[in-house]
Amino acid sequence: MMAHEEQSSDKAIQHQSLMDLLDKKKPLKICAPMVRYSKLAFRTLVRRYGCDLTFTPMIMSNSFVRSMKARDNEFTTNKGDRPLIVQFAANNGKDLADAAELIAPYADGVDLNCGCPQRWAMCDGYGAHLIKNPELIRDMVRQTKARVGRADFTTSIKIRIHPDLRDTVDLCQKAETAGVSWIAVHGRTPRERAEPANHDAIKLIKESVGVPVIANGDIRSLEDMQRVCDHTNVDGVMAARGILENPAMFAGYNLTPTHCVQQWLDISLSLGTPFQCFHHHLIYMMEKMVMRADKRVFNVLTSTAAVVDYLEENYGIHPSTEVSIEDTRGSSAPPLDRIM
């Protein structure tokens, strides 16, 4: 099964439709799709700290449709993991519609990645390459909506902006006519990386369409969220790097609190999170907690047991329940890859 029902202490969440949530809870607080990072354990953690909606990492639609192994590896969820959007990379309507049909029983919507700026994606017609072809995006949205045919199941797009914003407005308006449920806008062009996000562009897009618009880019705190919402009048905000470094940001914490780290131990160990993912998340969320000299030790630990022992000995942080600790070997964390 692609949707593995993990055993969890979390009770199933009674949730309203996502469109009702977007209408009634403004601004919506969203954890962005992050390659390798926004998986079940992390989604579970951020939900406990004020996050209203979470995304899976980007999944390649063609391999997801063809391969049971890919479905098992790429998509894991449980009853408490809602509301949930599954993000796909696709370059044609059939692949996206086929993938959406497979995950529809387990999620609240699908999102088409139109923002990944990596060279391999652009060369193969995925990600930010799609913003050059609004007619293709419109066709992909239409095919997906027709295939799933559920009023409570959303079909959204996540885009980057064009250098000429008139092209972005045109794209968004064409997606709206195709029936897109909402649009998330990363306020940078495909060529931009560390430049400040263009919130003026997001404001223009919000003023140009009737569907909900979500702002993405430079959201690292509730203060950032409020500033961006006041400026753009968007319906929600989406955080990536900020929430990776501080999973409790939407609960009003400026730094990751120790009880959030402890929650991560409980959740990730109970779900059997692989060591590398378990360790990398801790490196990011404890970036400002661990002294520089200690980082050289902590960042090169090679087993779950060693990490748990280190946290207990140095910070008094330990799992609150008895869980099985798999002594999985792994490498030290490489630099953070591009977050979409």
Q: Which residues contact 188 (CB under 8 A, 6 or more apart)?
A: 160, 161, 195, 197, 198, 217
Q: Are 54 and 33 in contact (CB under 8 A)?
A: no
Q: Report which of residues 328 and 128 the model is more confident about.
A: 128
pLDDT band at 16 (very low <50, low <70, confident <90, very high): low
Whether the pLDDT of residue 334 is over 80: the answer is no
The set of catalytic residues is: 116
**Left (φ > 0), alpha (ψ -120 to 50) or beta: where does 289 sit?**
alpha
Q: Rounded distance, CA 337 to CA 272, Å?
A: 23
Question: E strand or H helix at 61, and its extent?
Answer: helix 61-66
Tokens 């139109």 found at:
114
In the prediction, which pLDDT does 153 show?
Answer: 96
Read off the pLDDT of each residue in 293-317 and give the average, rounded to a whole number: 93
Binding site, annotated residues for FMN: 33-35, 87, 186, 240-241
pTM, rounded to two decimals:
0.90
Among the listed ranges 84-98, 137-151, 155-169, 283-297, which one has the minimum average pLDDT value?
Answer: 283-297
Whether the pLDDT of residue 331 is over 70: the answer is no
